[in-house]
Structures are given as structure tokens and as C-alpha cells.
Structure 1
Amino acid sequence: MTLAYLCSLRYPHNKTNLADDLRRAADAVALLGSSSADLAALPDAVVLIGQKQIAAARRLLDTRAAWMAATIARRSRPELGHSGLAAQQGFLSPEALIQNWTGSSMGDAYKLVAVGTMMADTEAADKLVEEALSTLSTPDADADADADAVDVADAVDVAAFTAKVPWQAPIARAVTAGTLSVDAAEAIRAGLGQIDAAVTAEKLRVALAVLLTEAPSLNADEVFKRARQMRDRLDQAGITAHEKQAHDDRYLKVYRLSNDNVRLNGLFAPEDGEFVLSTFDSITSPRRGGVRFVDPERAAWAQKMQDDPRSTEQINTDSLVQLPKVAGEADPGRVFGGRRPAVRVIVTEKALTAEPAEPGAAEPAAHGQIQGNPVPISQETIDRVLCDGGCRWVDCDRSPAWTEAHHINDWLTDSGDTNLAEEVLLCHPHHLLLHNQHWKITRTGTQHWLRPPVENDPEQTLIALPSKRVGL
């Protein structure tokens, strides 16, 4: 290590320059306009420049947000107990305080604390180095002292000082200099990991130097992947450990919200996660510019998917519900232990005997609910579920647990929608038969009819579908 190297450790900007940078960035953004209409009127060249100016201003603000997060974390240290800043404000952690006051996610709060703390540690270490430099560069009182002895002593001092500088210091300096975003800094920090027996600080410094030259051309996600690749190359044995950790971290939570909707929240290991992504990519690929099918049937499917009035997210949701049904149909004994999942409806005796409302009359009050869910359901839905208490096909005795909903009004030809009153239950074989052989189900009041295709009955005589009302 040399004095020239130590000098290079100093921050490239002083406090005055950093403040001026922020003011200039804010002024540049303000000049872009004060409304969406102002920005929409800008020419393309100015829009592109403006986006860069906004990114630069945000980066400078994020740097200060990280500094502030580190300050809050330092003043909320565990050893301070209830006198810590976060505890005084009624929060269990500095991250919780930051999340509450900024309206951000907990992940963003952790990121700000992590990067801010890294920057604070680096700044403190650089300050020690700077003080050491001023001491080492002070001329000796004894001008005749042995020069070689002074150089040796200086080298020992330099080694001691540089050992106190964290290997992540270049990340912090890049954020302060405005050449690296807080998001990218956290991606590098998390991707390269920590020092251990196999990966020394020196190895991490070398990898970091390469990564910082590549980072300006990458987004935060790409930076993390690149950093993780570098870490894996440095620690081949760690790949297995990371793989196991990812597998151990997997989870899927299914829970009911306060409004009685049901939410899924999960985390998959890379191998399983990519399979899940591939599954839904296959289902919705026509929506995202997927391959163009030459086969007429596949092309028709792709066109139907593009024309589907549901959003891509709604298609994903409906597909997720359908997949377990298909799995249960294929092998119920293995998937569900011989019992397929079912939804039960609890109704009052009045609901069972209620007559349909006259046209124009007020809707009857709800008399039922889905078992396990307190949300009330309408009389119309009760009629559908109870009357369609199994597969609605003639002479079919499949129970509700083995059925799936069929839209009476077709999605494309009849502008059908997801309306429970316009659906009947059909077992999977009869549902396939209906669509593949072009049978049709219609409804007149509360009576459902089955219309055969011309190939089966040239007169297409309507067949009354029997009620499958079940008693409770």
C-alpha cells in the first residue's frame, strides 16, 4: 500500500459539491413541467433527457435516504433499549419506523438501512485513513532521521489503517459519488455475500472491482445476478448450501383477508419457481407475443386467448384454481387421498323453498353462505348451487366434488362473463363432451335445457336437465 493509494480512498465529492448536485438535479426536474400534460407535451428528445434527469435526482435523494436510515438505525441500537429512537416512537425496529413514515415496503426499509450503514462505516473508516495521512505526511522534526526507517514505519501504519476499511467501501463511495444507485448497491452487497473461510476479503475486493465497472450498464436485477454468479465462482462449495437454503426457504401461505377474499403468498426455490413461471407463461403466451402457431387448432386457441375479456392476471387466477381440479381428475387417490376438494354451501330452510322473484321485483335477501367463509351469498347463487348439486348432465351421478363450472353464455360467441347465475356444474368428461361435440345448455327461468348438435339430432330437440337439488 502507498500514500497515493490511501489518497484515492477519499470521497471524490466534498459536502458542498454534493449539496450543489442535489440542487441542480432538483432544478432540472422542476423545469420539465408541473403536470402530466406538461410532460406529455415534451418532444421525444427532451423526454429521454428528462427521464435521465429524474433518475439522477432520485439517486441523489436515495443516497440521503440511506444516510438518514443509517442514522435512525444507529440511534435505535438494541443496547439503547426503550430509549432508542425507534422505541420512543413506538416501533420495534428502525426498519418498521422507516416503513411507517415513508409508506415504503419493509424490504425497501431494510435496503436503506443496510446500504446506509455500509456507507456510514466506510465514511468513518475513510476519516481515520485521512487523519492518518495527515499524520504520516507531516515532516519530521529531525530532518536527518533515517529515511528507510521512516518508510518502514509508515508502511506498518498504512497496513493497519487500510485493514480497518471494509471491503464494501468502493460500493459506498460509488453511491456517494452518484455513479451507483442504492438499489444496485444493495444488489451487489447481497449478491457477493460475506467473508467466510473460502471467500476472503481480498477475493471479494477483486470481484467487486470488476463488478463496479459493469454496473453502470446493468439494472439492479442484472447486477444482483452478476454478483451472485461471481460469488458462486469464488465459492463452489457454497452453491450447494445456497441451493439448500433456497429450498428450505420455500413456503406457500393461503389465508383469508378481512374482506373475506382469499390471498396466496408464496416463495419457490429457483427450480420449482421456474417451472411455475413456465406454466403460466405457457397459458398466457399469446398475450405476451408468444410463438405464432401454424397448427389450426393451436392458432385458434391462441386467438381465443388474445380475445378473452379477462385480464392476464384473472386468467392466471382461474388457471391456478383449475390446475388442482385437473390433477384430481387424473389421479385423485394420489393427489387428494381419494377425496377431491369441494365447496359446501350452508342455507336456511327458507332458502331451500324460496320461489323465484317475479320480473322487476326486488331481489330476495341472502339466505346462505359458503362454509368456512362468512360472506353472504344471494338467493340466485343458492339456487344455482343447490339445483346444480352435482353434474347437471342427464343420468350423471357425479357429486359436486367432481364437477367444474360451465359458462352457459360462451366467452366469445355469447359475450359470457363470470356470473355464478349463468353457470352450471358439469363433471369433467361431460364438460369436454359439451364443448368438443358442440352441445349447448340454455336456461329458461329456473329450467335448464340441453340442446344436442345437428349431427346427433337434426331437429335439435331440447332435453330437460333434471334438478340436482340436495337436501340438508
Structure 2
Amino acid sequence: MSPHLDPLHEALARLDSLWTDAGDAEDFSRAQLVEANDALGMMRRLVDALHAEVAAGIARESRPELGPGSLAKQQGFRTPAQLIATAGGTSSGDASRLVKVGEATAPRSDLLGGPRPARYPAVRQAVVSGALHTTAAALIIALLDRARLRTDLTQIDEAEKLLADKAANLSLDDVRRLLTRAEAWLDPDGVASREEEARSRRSLTMFERDGCLHLSAVLDIESGASIRAAIAGYVNSAFGARKDAVDPGAPDADHRTVAMLQADALSTICAHALGCDNHAPALAGATVVVRVHLDDLTAGTGFGTVDGVDTPVSIATVRRMAASGGVIPCVLGSAGEVLDWGRERRLFTKAQRLALAERDGGCAMCGLPPDMTKAHHIAWWQRDAGPTDLSNGVLLCESCHHRIHDNGWEIRIDGAGAASRVWFIPPPYVDAARTPRLGGLARYTLAA
């Protein structure tokens, strides 16, 4: 057996044992379902890693200079991507990504035939070990290739190592969030140019069809942040009223979907603007929070972030937004309000929520934006006499709050201030070793 295939054989042996014991997946216990899911996930990553190596080899043997001797043409295909896609039943785009990952992570040779490391050795190690899926690797490689044109190679190497490590424990959606921030970190000067491009594409079209008014909008972050916050605030207010309803099953109860609520929010807000009588619609305290480090704000460098939005914004945009009504500028590193209240207050203050949002970025467990979360005591106020301090607070959405309490998860806060981190500790039946899982905004930053 080739050592190269050992991890794949181990994952297959786990699956073989599970099916031998249970006979059929529908007869699996919960523990067996989790184990099978883990083994299948590992197998998929390992198989795709091997496929990337083979795809790079097919591309090498199908390079244009080979002419009629191209492997792809000999097999009856115009491109190597078509050959790979046909065999795997995937698209040419998926095949091309496999080729790029294989080429970027394959060992190289110099002009004299001597060995050279792969272009991205840290990504190679993560892919070959099965820690990183090739799709996530392709996104990382694409970002690093773009950044090479305008960023110091030392910073590229540092970013590669951090990204390969961080992305190994994230879903593909979370990898995209991580890369959005990583691009701003690698090229802060490029944030403004990307903003200008997005601003030039903003549009709103309206037309009538089938008795309805249709709207389609594309907005840059600066223009859209206040719209998003206002609509989300209206929806949150509606859900709060629905939760407090005496009889949710009554004929006149609110059964609108989220999409309906968002449409009603836009209509209500616009109607208020047309006939403003100083009674704003209920928006559940909707605000736009823009965050920036003091040094960056002073020097006019770096970038800022908007709560609930993944895309960073330029310093110029931070300054414009901070001058607008309904926007709270949060400058980090300056003297702030008292953030620890001990047992004097039961509810977290607005200043404390802002500080928690800076650390957690929204729900510290699932990543929902801050306006869909509440500040919760880790050590309970009544049962544990827990203080209303930042070190005892965490932002959680309603679903994750119940999930933690109902299923025996624990929360731990390490460090203090800006350096603090949120860790979720699974119960023994989920992980016998109870290995802590990083939560909060730290999952999506390049801090080591």
C-alpha cells in the first residue's frame, strides 16, 4: 500500500467498519452518523487532493506546445479541463480549479532540474493532509495570486500560512468571509478602488408586471448599510411583537415570512419619509456601527468595517459615514466608557454591546449579524450570580443561546480587552476530548 494513500485507506476503513456493524445508514446511531459524516468529509477532501495532483499532471501533458501530442487531444478533448470534467461528471470550471490547485501546490524544479518547494507549501500541506478542501484552497490561491502583484512577498508568505491554518476549520461560506477581510489586510490601499468600482455599479430599477411593482437594487456598502439596518430593525421588531403575542394561533396573528416583512419594512419606511410626523416606525434600535482603529483614522490609512457586513470599507468612507445620522463610529484604542458593571446592573449597556460586537462580530457561535443577537451572561445572573462584565458576556442569537443551554455546551473567554477570544467547549458526547472551538470575529481575522 502506498504511503501516499494511507489517510484515504484509513478513512475508508472507518466507513467499512461502520457499515459492517450497522448494515445500513438508516440504522446508524447518532454517534455513528457523526462518525460517518466525518469520515466521508475526510475522504472527499483527500480524494479531491489526489484529483488535483492528477489534474495538474494532465494539464502538464496537455500543454499547447505539444500540439497533436497533447494528452487531452489524443483522448478526443479540446482542453485538459474537458477531459477532467468528463471523467468526474463535473463542470469545466470545477476542473480548471482542480488544475490550478494542483499546479500551485505541486513540487517544482529549477532550470537545472533541482527540487524546489511548491508555490504555496502551506496550502499544499493542508490539502494533502485532508485538512483543507480543494475548493477553499482554490479561493485562497486566487487571493494570494492577486495580492502578489501589489504586496510584499514576505506578507504573502505570512498570509498563506495563516489562511491555510484558519480555513482548515471553516465552512466554505466562512472561508469566503475570512478571505474578504484577508484581502483588505493584504492590500488596504485597494479597498478604496474596489469601493469606487462598486459605487459605479449601484442601481435601482422599478417596473410593473402582473399587478405588482418589481424592484431590483444593487448598492455599494456605504449606500446600503443604512437601508439594511433599517429593514433589519423593522423585521426584528415584528418578530419581537410576534413572540410577545398572547395567542400566536389567533386568526389575526402575524404569519408574514421574512421576505414579506422586509417588503413591508421598505414600504413603511418610505411612507414615513413622505409624510413624516416625527413618529418613526419601530426599528428595534436600528443603527449602523462603523469600526476603525484610531491609528488608521488619524493617519488616513488601513480600512474600517461595518457591523453585519463582511466587506471592509475605506477610511474615506468611514469618515463620511461617521458624519451621517443614525451611524455610530466606534474608534478602537481611545479612552472609552466603563464596560464592567459587576452586580450593579443586570442588563448589558449599549456601550458594552458595542464592545461585545467588536469581539464577537455578531453571534459568536454561528456568525449572524449583531442586530440579530442579544448580550447574554455566561455565568447566569440569577443562578450563578454572574456579573454584567465583558468577561462574562457574549453575543448569541436566540437559536444558539438555546442550543448551548439545552445541549451542554460551555463558553470560555480567554484574555482581556481587544485581545480576548471566545471559545465554545462541546459536551463529552460530542467530543470526548472537549476540544475548544474558536468563536467570534477571531475566526475571520488573520491574527495568529
Q: Which band: TM-score by shorter chain? A: 0.3 to 0.5
Query: Which structure has more helix as a fraction of its residues?
Result: 1
TM-score of the two chains, using structure 1 as the length reference: 0.43
TM-score of the two chains, using structure 2 as the length reference: 0.45
Which structure has the higher relative contact order (CA within 8 Å, separation 6+)?
2
Select the structure of larger CA radius of gyration: 1
